[in-house]
Structure 1
């Protein structure tokens, strides 16, 4: 599902109505204090969002590409498929919408296709690996901020099917995304372990199994500490090595 930008103006506003952007867009919400930015979030472009704005004064420019709210501002963000909502408050908030360029839209479509059902064979794997490499080269690793959790998971699934050399080439981008909390640490742990096992090295996080048991693990005494750092639960069993 592509992002749809919608500003629902509440009854407390000076103006009322509904502004709807039909084109897939990148949306950012910027909070200001004293005219200076103090916080900013970017909504994943691989998901559909509804953004409701309330405030003493709300102005829109460029057909809704920029919404500027001042005075007792409350912004409520709801994401399709999620029962909860994110609320942002402040004295001044700016919401910007940028229609996706051709490359961004192509990347999202490719990530959607990676999760599509259907026959999986070597030809499809090669095609998806090539697409993912193109996406990473243009946009960096497609984490949650770029594509949303579901499409980012599609990218990770393709990564784990890559041959050893290609996986190793992708790891710097995944590491960078994990350092920015844009992908779960568990994904990086699995990718790191898979590469180490492929190279004949002990794994660090115990994510790779053989016959139902973890492949040999490096420094098992510190295993659960390393797993905790990556957001993984304690290891339920030892490798027996």
Structure 2
């Protein structure tokens, strides 16, 4: 499906632009490349992104593939995933995304990541093992409910077994360090 075939390509372009800007800001933030003023501006921009996505959800429900196309739907998911400053909004977005998944308008993997993020942000164990802490000593998985059946739950939503997903993250981190990127990410996603 192309942007021209979606119902709201204009909305799709806005979501993609906001998600790209958000990712660029996040990259600078985790590399400690922002001074105090820029950090405040960054937080304000995150709040503005959440406000825009809140309006989109109120007007259109979840902006799925049919409304904005797959790339913009992924952008909306990224904005919701990183709306950590508004737990109520993030939970509401998870509910709307779940409904979109049930209607075949969004990937279940997006829902699993967002659902895990809301659990971790509320201090509860995650369900699918998609959230991890990256520390100076390596990758640390955030607490998981019933770890013995984790790979079964991951498989039920189309995610690969955890060991392989963590190895991919470790390889990516090793490449970043070899390239001279000393960043430490506080909370990240495991595919």
Greater strand fraction, Structure 1 or Structure 2: 1
The alpha-carbon deviation at position 194 of structure 1 amounts to: 1.0
Aligned pairs, number: 142
Confirm or deny: 8 A CA contact 2:116 2:126 kept in the other structure.
yes
Structure 1 equivalent of residue 131 of structure 2: 208
Q: Which structure 2 residues correspond to residues 187-202 of structure 1 after superposition, within 5 A? A: 187-202=110-125
Q: How far apart, CA to CA, are the structure 1 residues paired with 2:147 and 2:17?
A: 39
Distance change >3 Å, CA 217–CA 237, structure 1 → 2:
farther
Q: How far apart, CA to CA, are the structure 2 residues paired with 1:195 and 1:218?
A: 14
Structure 2: gaps of 5 or more residues: 26-41, 167-191
Of the two, which has the highest radius of gyration?
A: 1
Structure 1 segments of 4 or more deviating over 6 A?
none
Identify the match of residue 15 of structure 2 among 107, 111, 123: 111
Structure 2 equivalent of residue 154 of structure 1: 75
Q: How far apart, CA to CA, are the structure 1 residues paired with 2:140 and 2:77?
A: 23
Secondary structure at the residue paired with 1:189?
helix
Q: How far apart, CA to CA, are the structure 2 residues paired with 1:180 and 1:142?
A: 12
Q: Which structure 2 residues correspond to residues 20-99 of structure 1 after superposition, within 5 A? A: 43-45=5-7
Q: How far apart, CA to CA, are the structure 1 residues paired with 2:3 and 2:101?
A: 24
For 1:151-176, what per-residue CA distance to the aligned partner results, in whole angstroms no more than 9, with x for missing partners?
A: 11111111012122220122211110
The alpha-carbon deviation at position 124 of structure 1 amounts to: 1.6
Q: Which structure 2 residues correspond to residues 135-146 of structure 1 after superposition, within 5 A? A: 135-146=56-67
Distance change >3 Å, CA 192–CA 2, structure 1 → 2:
closer
CA RMSD of aligned residues (A): 2.5
The alpha-carbon deviation at position 2 of structure 1 amounts to: 4.8
Structure 1: gaps of 5 or more residues: 4-42, 48-104
The alpha-carbon deviation at position 46 of structure 1 amounts to: 5.7
